[in-house]
Amino acid sequence: MVQSHEDDISVETSSLPPIPIQEILEDRTLTETVLFPTPKLFLKISKLEIRKSLKALTFESVFAAVFYSIIGGALLSNFLLELGAGPVEIGLLAAIPQMVNLLQPLGAYLVNRSTSFRWYFVCIFMPSRLLWLILIPAIALVTSSHIAGQQVVQLTLALLLGANVIEAFGRAPWLGWSAVLVPQRLRGLYFGFRNSILGLTNLISVPLLGLAVSAWPNGTLQGYGVVLVVGIVLGLISQICQFWMTDVNPQLLKVANSGTSQPQPQGIDFSLFKDANFLKFVLYLSIWCFAVNVSAPFFNLYMLDNLDIDISVVTIYNGLGTGANMVMLLLWGKLSDRIGNRPLLLLVGVLVAVTPLLWLGVGSDQISFWIWLPLLHVVTGGTWAAIDLCTNNLMMRIAPLRYQSTYFAIAGAIAGITGAIGISLASFLTTLPDAMGLLGLFVLSGLLRMVALVPLVFVQEQRSMPLGQLMRILFPIKQSTDLIKVE
């Protein structure tokens, strides 16, 4: 068998040992490593190391998924509603993680000054996850009526802000580390498989956690406190899994793609704004995130508040969507490797744009409860599997290896701020007396999603099937072969 060059990933390095970033946190300027001219070596990530890293990455993602499902989504929304939160607070709950994405370019700058992806993430994710321990005694105090529920709502939003500010520094670098460890030819297949495993995890864990919170003997508030402790422990276990992932010096990515053994000057390179293809992608992403976030945070609120559905049932609905997501991910992953990411984003994007309009037919009747709502969540989960997978893969395909962290950071920051604007605008509209309410937001979101797909038509992706060719395959038109008789 002929060994493919893709089995090994070669990056150029020097013989100097990496300096662990955590040893000199008190002065980040000291973490900049200057590589002196030395005999060059090649650090190869072998096939065995790649397999080991991908297994660790999968386990890490599973434990982290449970943690994030507890500190977000329907469980946290229901917790705040029980404390007396309204649409504005629920809007802030969704807006805060979007707004802090403005800090992603700073994260790309910091990781480019570090010498270890692994230790960089230890310094990011450990404090952000331990920060949620502060909420545990607050829950105990509010259940014993020592403090007001509104105070706990404010504390929860403050903790959410603090944790997301810290994590914002790690979001773009995390994609950069993943892009190095996952060979390009396997990204669709691997991320499809990994995300399907995450879907199975959420399918099982979220309904069980919702049932535990709903059925807890001492009330739902104390029940949430218990599952929060479990989530924090699992979040720390996911961090430990990263020690089985092959560490990479971020400095090497700059050296490997330059013509010299010296790394390029440190900093955020804004020359990427001259990349027309990237700008088209960012335009699509920004409009899409704005459109999606006009409605996305309010579907759970609509079920919990307007339709008065129990949290355990809402988590079951979400579990159905997660199950559909899991089933479809493998299909989308194979298709993205075969025809490309952009064509799938366009085709499935139309279905995702129509979905919010289908909520207009939802009511408090039994048909909605047993048929319409489960079907909506299945459709949403199945289609969003393609959107999430192909968006990340397309961004990896567009970004050059040397500047991946910076590309990811700029795209995340722009998408984050537009998403936050969408949430803020939607929260404001819900407070207006003459507004159409949540259903009006769903209609507005659907129309804006269709508009967002227009810039994506002009984005170029290497090795993807042209949209016209794909349409001819999906909708073949048989041309008439009848002869025209001339009298």
pLDDT of 428: 86
The pLDDT assigned to 94 comes to: 83
CA distance 444 to 236: 40
Q: How far is CA 164 from the centre of its chain?
A: 13
CA dist 225 and 484 (Å) reads 79
Task: Give dist(CA 200, CA 220) in Å, integer.
Answer: 25
Total residue length of the chain: 487
CA distance 447 to 357: 9
Gap between the Cα atoms of 221 and 233, Å rounded: 19
Task: Give CA–CA dist 170/393, Å, rounded.
Answer: 18
| pLDDT the model gives residue 291 | 95
Q: What H or E segment, with its residue span, contains residue 284?
A: helix 276-293
DSSP assignment letter at 319: H
**Cα separation values, 159 from 97, 183, 269, 423, Å:** 11, 36, 32, 19
Q: What pLDDT score does 41 carry?
A: 34
pTM of the model: 0.68
- Encoded tokens for 94: 């969704």
Check: CB of residue 455 under 8 Å from CB of residue 286: no
* CB within 8 Å of 323: residues ≥ 6 apart: 199, 200, 203, 378, 381
| Contact call for residues 352 and 449 (beta carbons, < 8 A) | yes
Residue position matching structure tokens 């660790």 = 56
Per residue in 89-121, pLDDT (tens digit) is 888 888 888 888 888 888 888 888 888 899 999
Contact partners, residue 384, CB within 8 Å, separation at least 6: 321, 325, 352
- Contact criterion met (CB below 8 Å) for 173 and 108: yes
Q: Are 67 and 231 in contact (CB under 8 A)?
A: yes
Q: Is 47 exposed, middle or buried (0-12, 13-18, 19+ CB in 10 A)?
A: middle
Please, where are the H alpha helices in 71-148? 73-82, 87-99, 104-111, 117-130, 135-143
The DSSP bridge partners found for residue 13 are 41
Query: What totals of helices (H) and strands (E) does the chain contain, helices first?
Result: 19, 2
In whole angstroms, what is the distance from residue 465 CA to residue 483 CA? 34
Q: What is the pLDDT of residue 209?
A: 92
CA distance linking residue 117 with residue 243, whole number of Å: 11
Angle 14-15-21 (CA atoms, 0-180°, nearest 5)? 80
Helix (H), strand (E) at residue 156: helix 149-181
User: Rounded to whole angstroms, what are the CA distances from 114 to 42, 125, 264, 390, 409?
Assistant: 19, 16, 14, 29, 16
Is there a contact between 293 and 429 (Cβ–Cβ < 8 Å)? no
- How many CA atoms lie less than 13 Å away from 180 in the CB half-sphere? 30
Is 131 within 8 Å of 152 (Cβ atoms)? no
Within 10 A of 129 (CB to CB), how many other CB atoms are there?
Answer: 24
The answer to whether the CB of 278 falls within 8 A of the CB of 407 is: yes
Contact 297, 91 (CB under 8 A): yes
pLDDT at 290: 94
Q: What is the mean pLDDT of the chain?
A: 81
Backbone angles phi, psi at 66, to 5 degrees: -65, -40
What element of type H or E holds 281? helix 276-293
Taking 50 as the pLDDT cut, the residues of the chain under it are 1-42, 256-267, 479-487
Predicted pLDDT of residue 62: 93
Residues 57, 181 contacting (CB under 8 angstroms):
yes
